[in-house]
Chains A and B, each alone.
Chain A
Amino acid sequence: MSALDDRDQFCDGLLTRVARGDRDALGDLFNSEAGRLIAIARRILRRGELAEEAVQESFIAVWRNATRFDPARGNARAWLTTIVRNRALNMLRDGSRMDLVTEDEIADYQDRSGEAGIAYGTLGEGDALRHCLSQLEDKKRHSILLAYVVGFSHGEIAAKLDAPVGTVKAWIRRGVISLQECLS
């Protein structure tokens, strides 16, 4: 059993206790996962305080909805990650949250594209996802990574890759179909 599997089981056990109303178990889950989750949200939101807010709100949502979780039906860490990722995307797309961004911060947002390549480069050599991504044309792979890792919209990807939005949509469409066929 890998360390990651151990951690999955550990978190599943904690979330099961949270579902029974155990607030301390949520604290243990927070101690185990918060750093990783802030890092994932930060790839999307860039600003540390927004990433922390996304994670904080997610843990409160987890508390409220923990009874929906059943360890036999999926893994707690994946559930947490999905909640945090989606909340970060919501905050990103909710324009009012970004009103106070300064010019420097705007530049920093555009720079976050670099994280997408780093994430891809850090996937393990034997990872099927890495293998299947590597089979895609560069522009398709890059578009998919920009959308998933740093939360770029079609428009942002188009600007970054200097291509029409319609072309980017077609790349992503064909890219995600090929990727899922390769992974299956």
Chain B
Amino acid sequence: MTDDSERLARAGDYVLGLMDDAARTQAERDMEHDAMFREAVRRFAERMSNLDETAAPAAVPSGMWDSIRARIDTIPQEAQQTAPSAHPVAANQNRPAFWRKAAVAASLFAALGLGYLGGRATVSPPQPVVLVVLQTPQNTAGAVFEAFADNSVRIVPLENFQVPDDKIMQVWTLYDPSVGPVSLGTLPRTEVATLQGQPFPTPADGQLYEITLEPKPGSPTGKPTGPILVKGFARPTPG
């Protein structure tokens, strides 16, 4: 197997989404310094995207945008990152084509990395920084949360909460009373689930977490409006 074939085979597995976590992480690391591999991925992904264009558009549920809008109203944007094109080192300034390509590839890589890694806490099994036992209004244990440094939260329900068809469970935390409760996401049904982290401060001892019942697709105000199903305070994990 030549280097060229190996590169194309890996680019293929990456673009098709066939890599396991370890191989994908390694591929994304390699893309940062291996311009030829990065370019192979970019080109193959671009060509394969013609298949995406063949999908007939689906109906968009009414209210979907409002729910996104309610969430982004409380979420700050990440600060601008330094782009490779902004800092070509002197030796490369006579190679604009190289930098243009590298920049395009870096932009795509950002999309790929974001897409693959954004949906899970981290690649290796992370350790929670706090545990929360959430109590029902009847003072029984209703759910356990493990909250991680990136603010992703693994939710283990201990009771079977009944969610009417027009409602949804929404998970909140309060890290700063002056900010008020912030949404960590919604749960359509009672099941073990992991909600994605938001760029909030690292969960701290004593931080409040709760689940409320909200109208679908989520609280219309961006703050809790419905009854509290469970509520509890974070405790740091031992060790």
Interface residues of A (CB under 8 A from B): 4, 19, 21, 23, 26-27, 30-31, 34-36, 38-40, 42-43, 48-49, 51-52, 55-61, 63-70, 72-74, 78-79, 81-87, 89-91, 94, 96-97, 99-100, 118-120, 122-124, 127-130, 144-145, 147-149, 151, 153-154, 172-173, 175-177, 179-181, 183-184
Contact = CB atoms under 8 A, between A and B. Distances in A.
Given A67-B78, A74-B104, A177 B5 contact: yes
24 contacts: A35-B60, A39-B58, A49-B188, A56-B64, A63-B75, A65-B78, A65-B114, A68-B80, A68-B81, A68-B114, A73-B83, A79-B107, A82-B45, A82-B115, A85-B52, A85-B115, A86-B116, A90-B120, A96-B191, A100-B189, A130-B50, A177-B5, A180-B40, A184-B43
Nearest first, the 8 A-B pairs at minimum CB distance are A176-B12, A86-B115, A35-B57, A90-B119, A122-B54, A39-B55, A38-B58, A147-B16
Interface in B35-78: 40, 43-61, 64-65, 67-69, 71-73, 75-78
A56 B67 contact: yes
Contact of B107 (A31, A36, A68, A127): A68
A43 B17 CA distance: 14
Contact of B18 (A42, A86, A154): A154
B23 interface: no
Nearest to A168: B18
A61 B58 contact: no
A45 B97 CA distance: 39
B111 A82 contact: yes
A183 to B, nearest CB: 5
Contacts of B189: 100
A61 B197 CA distance: 11
**Which one of B13, B56, B58 has the highest number of Cβ atoms from chain A below 10 Å of its Cβ?**
B58
A64 B48 CA distance: 26
Given A90-B119, A96-B191, A176-B9, A147 B18 contact: yes
B55 A90 contact: no
Given A86-B116, A123-B50, A181-B8, A63 B72 contact: yes
A14 B75 CA distance: 19
B199 interface: yes
Given A68-B107, A82-B115, A30 B55 contact: no
B79 interface: yes
Nearest to A26: B72
Given A90-B120, A180-B8, 6 more contacts: A60-B68, A66-B77, A82-B115, A147-B16, A149-B51, A173-B9
Contacts of A34: 60, 64-65
B55 A36 contact: yes
A86 to B, nearest CB: 3
B137 interface: no
B25 interface: no
Contact of A27 (B5, B53, B65, B188): B65
Contact of A94 (B85, B107, B120): B120
A184 to B, nearest CB: 7
B115 A36 contact: no
A43 B60 CA distance: 15
**Which one of B47, B75, B80 has the highest number of Cβ atoms from chain A below 10 Å of its Cβ?**
B47
Contacts of A4: 53
Contacts of B64: 30, 34, 52, 55-56
B68 A176 contact: no
Contacts of A27: 65, 69
Contact of B79 (A67, A69, A97, A172): A67
Nearest to A146: B16
B194 A96 contact: yes
Contact of B43 (A81, A82, A149, A180): A180
Nearest to B68: A59
